[in-house]
Amino acid sequence: MLAFLVSFLPFLFLLSSPLPLKPLPSWVNELRLVFFLFWQELIYYSFQGLKNYAEDMPSNLINMFAVRPSTARITAHVEEMQERTILDLPELALDCILEKLSPVGLCNMAGVCHALRDRCASDHLWKRHMREKWGRVFAFEANKDFSLYLPSRRVEANDKEKSLAQPEGCIGSLSHLWPLSWFKPRTDGGGNNKSPSSSSSSSSSSSLTALPVDSIMSCYLSLQSGRIWFPAQVYNRENGSVGFLLSCYDAELSYDSRTDSFYARYPPHGVRTTNIEDGVKWDRIRVSPVDTSAHDLHVSDCLNDLHPGDHIEIQWRKSKEYPYGWWYGVVGHLASCNGNKHFCHCHDNESIILEFNQYAPSSRWRLVTIDRKDHQEYGNETNGFYGGIRKLHSKDEISAWRSMWPTKTLE
């Protein structure tokens, strides 16, 4: 601004000083008036700006060097929030978060601290995961003491035990995510039966880190890692061999996470050694519907309720030295009945016709007649022995059998 004023002074002097030589034109007087008004406005606004700046200077200096109260409050709130952890959440909120976690997520969360480890091992968090993944193939309520199925230190050579090495990574082996000392099931009652030579510190550590053997989490991890062989039944054993189509046999199974399938170990048949089948898919496995052993005759309590068209399972074995398997069939009509449901009295007869329609009409396995009133094991060494019968009421059971139907008629 000062440089502008200095440069403009000669021109100002020229306009303000009259020249004696010649009279000036009229526009010079007009220019003098404009110039005068311009300087009047410029001086006024310059002094007004200086006045406002002088009034605001003290408050500007204070704001420049003082900490604002709002910023201090925000900083204190952030520091307070940083000191809080997930354990400061209300119990209900924390449970809701943990219930949303997958099994892998629960194992990772359990590794954070002791408090979360104990909480993440709670049965109510693992019950849903147990039911969703293993409910179709493993009856947890009937096998709570699953430590009975853990392999012993000494494994016989003819058992052909599979390798328990699992792939690294995600769901392949949850036991890798859970520390080994925590994953090991506690079968010694919490360490009270240890020898006196054991140190008190190791005993205390074991009791704190080992999972209870009857916990759902321990059972889930044992199943997932393939460490146990558990009892179940397998449809169409031995990879669907013709001799076992539409049958279901007891077996011991162990999960293989690498292929998402199972190993099935069948009990010996007479002099035949134990047979192990690999690659058994989920849809070929079921929980045993009865408590009867494979070597015992099932009590048939449905004989008086059987009518033509009913779906059934019947025990059958080739020899008395063999275990029973369950075979699918339907109740048929007697030879004297024309099959008309309005005139059928087959359900009142003492004889029951069982049909196995997967076999050709000329096959010796197509039909069998049993006694409704006094049915016991029936058969011979040629055609095998027929045992107990159970009637199928569930559509899911019937659908499972129908899905196994052979592509061609058997002889």
Same domain, 333 and 262: no
Same domain, 310 and 274: no
For residue 171, being part of any structural domain is answered with: yes
- Among residues of the chain, what percentage have pLDDT more than 70? 62
Q: How far apart are CA 312 and CA 330, in angstroms?
A: 6
Same domain, 108 and 208: yes
For residue 128, being part of any structural domain is answered with: yes
Same domain, 263 and 317: no
Same domain, 220 and 272: no
Residue 348 C-alpha from the chain's centroid: 50
Identify the domain containing residue 182 by its residue range: 95-151+159-188+201-225
Whether the predicted pLDDT of 54 surpasses 50: yes
- Tell me the three state secondary structure of residue 177: coil
For residue 88, being part of any structural domain is answered with: no
Question: How confident is residue 72, by pLDDT bands cut at 50, 70 and 90?
Answer: low
Q: Under the phi-then-psi rule, with left for phi > 0, alpha for psi from -120 to 50, and beta for the rest, what region is 39?
A: alpha
Same domain, 343 and 255: no
Same domain, 114 and 216: yes
Question: How confident is residue 110, by pLDDT bands cut at 50, 70 and 90?
Answer: confident
pLDDT of residue 132: 93
pLDDT tens digits for range 128-148: 999 999 999 998 776 656 556
Q: Who contacts 162 (Cβ-Cβ below 8 Å, separation ≥6)?
A: 226, 254, 256, 263, 276, 278
DSSP conformation letters of 224-290: HHT---EEEEEESHHHH-GGGTTEEEEEEEEEETTTTEEEEEEPP-TTPPPEEEEEE-GGGEE--SS
Question: β-pairing, 384-391 with 378-380?
Answer: antiparallel
Q: How far apart are CA 398 and CA 305, in angstroms?
A: 17
pLDDT of residue 329: 97
pTM above 0.75, yes or no: no
Residue 359 sits at the vertex; the CA angle it makes with 353 and 363, to the nearest 5 degrees, is 80
For residue 111, being part of any structural domain is answered with: yes
pLDDT of residue 299: 94
Mean pLDDT across 69-96: 70
Whether the predicted pLDDT of 285 surpasses 70: yes
pLDDT tens digits for range 155-208: 333 333 443 344 444 444 354 444 434 444 544 444 444 443 444 444 433 433
**How many domains would you assign to the chain?**
3
- The phi and psi torsions of 81 (rounded to 5 degrees) equal -65, -35
For residue 166, being part of any structural domain is answered with: yes
pLDDT tens digits for range 217-240: 888 998 999 988 999 999 998 887
Between residues 333 and 20, which one has the greater pLDDT? 333
Mean pLDDT across 336-354: 90
Q: How far apart are CA 236 and CA 245, in angstroms?
A: 5
Same domain, 173 and 278: no
Same domain, 105 and 205: yes
Choosing from 225, 240, 271, the residue where a domain stops is 225
Whether the predicted pLDDT of 62 surpasses 60: no
For residue 58, being part of any structural domain is answered with: no
Same domain, 179 and 236: no
Q: Hey, which of 42-56, 180-194, 307-321 has the most confident mean pLDDT?
A: 307-321
For residue 397, being part of any structural domain is answered with: yes
Cα separation of the two ends of the chain: 115
Mean pLDDT across 113-117: 87
Question: How confident is residue 78, by pLDDT bands cut at 50, 70 and 90?
Answer: low
Confirm if 341 and 359 have CB atoms less than 8 A apart. Answer: no
Question: How confident is residue 74, by pLDDT bands cut at 50, 70 and 90?
Answer: low
Same domain, 125 and 171: yes
Same domain, 350 and 260: no
pLDDT of residue 60: 57
For residue 21, being part of any structural domain is answered with: no
- Going by the DSSP 8-state scheme, the letter that residue 410 receives in this structure is B
Written as six digits, the tokens of 168 are 């690294």
- Going by the DSSP 8-state scheme, the letter that residue 152 receives in this structure is P
